């Protein structure tokens, strides 16, 4: 009997159930079985190993926002480049040109941001 | 890997009919690069405007040379057909006029003009995709592209409180609306297993024939359709999704307001027509006319109710406005209401009427906003009080504005009358059929609304020609030649096409071909 569209979602529901169940069980187990001996160093927020200098709820320079934005853009570029790199021989010249256009688009964006002085940290 | 390669081939073949869009894509990038040059050059606005017009011109040339046969591109994501091409011309016309309007004006400082043009090109690309989208995903993506650019441009005036308010309201409202629409689409996909607009009707029929629990299925289908209608309704500013419209129109730079009032509205109607008329009025329809139903939901009747609510609220609220930009915003809501009458008629004639009306609407609305810009530059105000005595200070602007306003009312011999005439004919055509009485009611309410709109349009005309000036007029700055040319051309176009409308009829009836893959 062919599955109705709704029935095809059953495996997804199963994954959701098993995934969240597993996470819940692991957290519970850690809570019940794990020993708990807190000290000052353990309770302090983790800042890549250096000694914390203040609260994290502080005002940040708005420039971080642009840097984060740029980071995401180039992060996603890498996400797109990986699968293309794996299949680049099969995709041939058409794929190569498509990828060039994609990268060129991002370069234009970077050049624009650069020339507009967004990356100047001096002020 | 043959499978993959054939996908590449499909994309390459599709790109041949995708050239105008490609031109706009690369044009957007080119405008961003151009923006970096001629920093303090006195001819900077002129050069940037030339660049933007060049991009639009290339897109137009490629649109002309594009194969006219209807077809599906990119695995059914978008389609090329006469319907889409008509709307693409509309967007090019509106964008070209907007570029010409914004170049000599003071709304955009020369330093930031390049930014505006680059974003405008991106927006035109989004509008192109909206008009040709044949897949729900593509509908969503293109609406998002248009919306995201609109949010930025609505808040273009940095440090201006009204602009910040407009942008924030627009983002929140638009974000919720498109999220709601996407949610509705997910229901539709869950029920029907397809995102292709062309397959919706068949799948719905199939679903109704299969033995699923009828009530639950029907409810889900109705909810999905209502949510999608909300997304489209927000784009065309139909009641009850119109609240963002006046504030955004008021806060945005006026040339962009002008574009916003015609471009996205037309594109929203293109999406609505493709979805409701192109896809859902076919085999799944139980009966014709008002009872025509999707999953038991008589959508022409619902659109009819929306139409009545939209035009009535728009017109009644416009009566109380004293700021011209807000007045035109409410008037544009009312016009969305008139246009919905054509959609409610659910016939080829209704579609044609919408197309004719939008074509005229682009010219008369852009013209009206041009006068608002002109007056704002001379007096620094958008209040109706500052339009008093405009006929003496600036006869050309006053006369042209009067022509646009009478045309917006729909009085012969102006072009707006032709558009309204066709809309009413499309509705009245349905009167002998099933549910005909309701169509008659719709037509009567539409006529009453036109009468109401006459009052507030004429109030502006009276201020310009009869009322004494509110304050001693200052020495008005010289009007740029470009504005004089644009005003005269628009006013003449509204007059000429009000008397000689055969070309519009021929063009629109040739463009009635909706691709149903």
Residue B282 burial by Cβ neighbours in a 10 Å radius (0-12, 13-18, 19+) = middle
Same domain, yes or no, for A61 and A115?
Answer: yes
Same domain, yes or no, for A62 and A32?
Answer: no
Instruction: Select from A86, A90, A97, A104 the residue whose CB has the most chain B CBs within 10 Å, as the one to mutate to test that interface.
Output: A90
In chain B, which residues have their Cβ closer than 8 Å to the Cβ of A95?
Answer: 8
How many Cβ atoms are within 10 Å of B106's Cβ, its own excluded?
14
Residue A72 is assigned to a structural domain of this protein:
yes
Name the residue among B120, B117, B113 with its Cα closest to residue B40.
Answer: B113
Select the more confidently predicted residue: B496 or A65.
B496
On average, the pLDDT of chain A sits at 85
In chain A, which residues have their Cβ closer than 8 Å to the Cβ of B28?
Answer: none
Same domain, yes or no, for A66 and A14?
Answer: no
The CATH number of residue A87's host domain is 1.20.58.1610
Residue A50 is assigned to a structural domain of this protein:
no
Judge: B5–A91 Cβ closer than 8 Å, yes or no. Answer: yes
Q: How far is CA B266 from the centre of its chain?
A: 3
Residue B226: partners with Cβ closer than 8 Å, 6 or more residues away: B184
Q: A6-45 burial by CB neighbour count: b if 16+ within 10 A, else e?
A: eeeeeeeeeeeeeeeeeeeeeeeeeeeeeeeeeeeeeeee
Number of domains comprising chain A: 2
Q: Are strands B297-298 and B293-294 parallel, antiparallel or unpaired?
A: antiparallel
Residue A6 is assigned to a structural domain of this protein:
yes
3-state secondary structure of B71: strand
- Nearest by CB to B8, which of A91, A105, A115? A91
Same domain, yes or no, for A85 and A122?
Answer: yes
Q: Are strands B293-294 and B71-73 parallel, antiparallel or unpaired?
A: unpaired
Cβ pairs bridging A and B (under 8 Å): 37
Same domain, yes or no, for A118 and A83?
Answer: yes
Q: How far is CA B99 from the centre of its chain?
A: 17
Nearest-CA residue of chain B relative to A105?
A: B29
Q: How far is CA B448 from the centre of its chain?
A: 24
Judge: B1–A111 Cβ closer than 8 Å, yes or no. Answer: no
pLDDT for residue B25:
93
- For residues B284 and B147, the answer to whether their CB atoms sit within 8 Å is no
Distance CA(B487)–CA(B490), nearest Å, equals: 5
Consecutive H or E run containing B28: helix B19-34
Q: B316-352 burial by CB neighbour count: b if 16+ within 10 A, else e?
A: ebbeebebbbbbbbbbbbbbbbbbbbbbbbbbebbbb
- For residues B379 and B338, the answer to whether their CB atoms sit within 8 Å is no
pTM equals 0.88
Per-residue pLDDT tens digits for A86-112: 988 888 888 888 899 999 989 998 889
Helices B395-409 and B415-429: angle between axes, nearest 10 degrees: 0
pLDDT for residue B285:
46
Q: Which DSSP string corresponds to B338-367? A: HHHHHHHHTSHHHHHHHHHHHHHHHHHHHH
Helices B197-209 and B214-236: angle between axes, nearest 10 degrees: 160
Same domain, yes or no, for A66 and A106?
Answer: yes
> Any bridge partners for residue A5, and if so which?
none
Residue A49 is assigned to a structural domain of this protein:
no
Domain that holds residue A121: 57-123
pLDDT for residue B288:
45
Sign of CA dihedral B305, B310, B311, B312: positive
Name the residue among B103, B77, B69 with its Cα closest to residue B21.
Answer: B77
Residue A85 is assigned to a structural domain of this protein:
yes
| A112: closest CA of chain B, how far (Å) | 7
In chain B, which residues have their Cβ closer than 8 Å to the Cβ of A105?
Answer: 29
Q: Which DSSP string corresponds to B119-176? A: HHHHHHHHHHHHHHB-BHHHHHHHHHHHHHHHHHHHT-STT-HHHHHHHHHHHHHHHH
Same domain, yes or no, for A12 and A70?
Answer: no
Q: Are strands B297-298 and B71-73 parallel, antiparallel or unpaired?
A: unpaired
Half-sphere exposure of B352 (CA within 13 A, CB side): 21
Question: What string of pLDDT tens digits covers the 517 residues of chain B?
Answer: 456 677 778 888 888 889 999 999 999 999 999 998 888 888 889 999 999 999 999 999 999 988 778 888 888 899 998 899 999 999 999 999 999 999 888 888 888 899 999 999 999 999 999 999 999 999 999 999 999 999 999 999 888 888 999 999 999 999 999 999 999 999 989 888 889 988 887 788 777 777 666 677 778 888 888 899 999 999 999 988 999 999 999 999 999 999 999 999 999 999 999 988 877 765 444 444 454 566 556 788 888 999 999 999 999 999 999 999 999 999 999 999 999 999 988 888 889 999 999 999 999 999 999 999 998 888 888 888 888 888 888 889 999 999 999 999 998 889 999 999 999 999 998 888 777 788 899 999 999 999 999 999 999 999 999 888 866 666 666 788 888 999 999 999 999 998 988 888 889 888 888 777 6
Residue A69 is assigned to a structural domain of this protein:
yes
Average pLDDT over residues A8-29: 93
Residue A70 is assigned to a structural domain of this protein:
yes
> Any bridge partners for residue B182, and if so which?
none
3-state DSSP of B382-408: CEHHHHCCHHHHCHHHHHHHHHHHHHH
The residues of B whose Cβ lies within 8 A of any Cβ of A are 1, 4-5, 8, 11-12, 29, 32-33, 35-36, 190-193, 210, 212
Same domain, yes or no, for A62 and A15?
Answer: no
Judge: A9–B190 Cβ closer than 8 Å, yes or no. Answer: yes
Give A8's pLDDT tier (boundaries 50, 70, 90).
confident
Same domain, yes or no, for A32 and A83?
Answer: no
Same domain, yes or no, for A28 and A66?
Answer: no
Nearest-CA residue of chain B relative to A9?
A: B190
Same domain, yes or no, for A121 and A65?
Answer: yes
3-state DSSP of B191-250: HHCCCEHHHHHHHHHHHHHCCCCHHHHHHHHHHHHHHHHHHHHHHHCCCCCCCHHHHHHH
Distance CA(B205)–CA(B286), nearest Å, equals: 10
Nearest-CA residue of chain A relative to B2?
A: A90
- Nearest by CB to A105, which of B4, B29, B192? B29
Same domain, yes or no, for A32 and A70?
Answer: no
Residue A42 is assigned to a structural domain of this protein:
no
């Amino acid at each position: 009997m062919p599955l109705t569209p709704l029935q095809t979602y059953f495996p997804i529901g199963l994954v959701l159930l098993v995934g969240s169940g597993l996470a819940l069980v692991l957290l519970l187990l850690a809570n019940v079985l794990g020993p708990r001996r807190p000290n000052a160093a353990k309770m302090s927020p983790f800042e890549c190993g250096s000694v914390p200098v203040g609260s994290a709820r502080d005002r940040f320079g708005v420039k971080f926002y642009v840097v984060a934005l740029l980071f995401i853009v180039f992060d996603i570029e890498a996400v797109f480049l990986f699968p293309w790199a794996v299949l680049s021989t099969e995709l041939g010249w058409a794929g190569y040109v498509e990828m060039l256009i994609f990268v060129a688009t991002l370069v234009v964006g970077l050049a624009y941001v650069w020339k507009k002085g967004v990356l100047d940290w001096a002020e | 890997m043959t499978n993959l390669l054939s996908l590449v081939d499909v994309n390459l073949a599709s790109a041949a009919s995708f050239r105008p869009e490609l031109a706009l894509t690369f044009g957007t990038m080119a405008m961003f690069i151009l923006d970096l040059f001629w920093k303090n050059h006195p001819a900077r606005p002129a050069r940037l405007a030339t660049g933007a017009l060049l991009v639009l011109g290339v897109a137009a040339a490629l649109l002309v040379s594009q194969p006219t046969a209807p077809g599906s591109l990119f695995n059914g994501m978008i389609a090329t057909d006469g319907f889409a091409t008509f709307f693409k011309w509309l967007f090019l016309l509106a964008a070209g006029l907007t570029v010409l309007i914004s170049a000599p004006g003071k709304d955009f400082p020369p330093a930031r003009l390049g930014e505006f043009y680059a974003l405008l090109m991106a927006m035109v690309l989004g509008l192109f995709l909206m008009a040709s989208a044949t897949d729900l995903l593509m509908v969503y993506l293109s609406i998002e592209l248009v919306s995201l650019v609109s949010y930025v441009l609505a808040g273009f005036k940095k440090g201006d409180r009204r602009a910040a308010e407009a942008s924030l309201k627009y983002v929140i409202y638009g974000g919720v609306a498109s999220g709601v629409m996407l949610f509705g689409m997910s229901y539709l996909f869950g029920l029907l297993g397809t995102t292709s607009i062309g397959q919706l009707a068949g799948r719905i029929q199939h679903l109704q024939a299969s033995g699923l629990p009828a009530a639950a299925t029907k409810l889900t289908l109705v909810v999905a359709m209502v949510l999608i209608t909300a997304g489209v309704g927000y784009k065309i500013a139909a009641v009850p999704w119109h609240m963002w419209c006046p504030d955004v129109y008021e806060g945005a730079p006026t040339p962009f307001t002008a574009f916003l009032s015609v471009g996205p509205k037309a594109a929203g109607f293109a999406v609505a027509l493709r979805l409701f008329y192109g896809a859902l009025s076919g085999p799944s329809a139980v009966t014709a006319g008002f009872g025509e139903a999707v999953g038991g939901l008589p959508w022409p009747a619902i659109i009819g109710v929306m139409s009545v609510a939209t035009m009535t609220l728009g017109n009644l609220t416009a009566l109380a406005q004293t700021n011209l930009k807000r007045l035109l915003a409410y008037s544009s809501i009312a016009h969305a209401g008139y246009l919905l009458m054509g959609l409610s008629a659910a016939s080829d004639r209704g579609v044609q009427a919408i197309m004719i009306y939008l074509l005229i609407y682009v010219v008369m609305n852009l013209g009206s906003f041009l006068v608002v810009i002109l007056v704002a530059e001379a007096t620094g105000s958008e209040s109706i009080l500052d339009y008093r005595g405009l006929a003496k200070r600036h006869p050309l602007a006053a006369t042209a504005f009067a022509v646009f306003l009478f045309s917006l009312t729909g009085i012969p011999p102006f072009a707006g009358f032709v558009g309204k005439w066709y809309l009413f004919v499309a509705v009245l055509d349905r009167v002998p059929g099933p549910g005909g009485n309701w169509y008659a009611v719709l037509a009567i309410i539409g006529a009453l609304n036109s009468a109401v709109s006459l009052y507030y349009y004429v109030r502006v005309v009276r201020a310009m020609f009869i009322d004494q000036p509110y304050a001693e007029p200052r020495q008005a700055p010289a009007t740029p030649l470009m504005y004089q040319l644009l005003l005269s051309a628009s006013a003449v176009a509204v007059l000429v096409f009000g008397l000689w409308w055969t070309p519009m009829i021929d063009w629109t009836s040739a463009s009635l071909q909706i691709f149903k893959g």
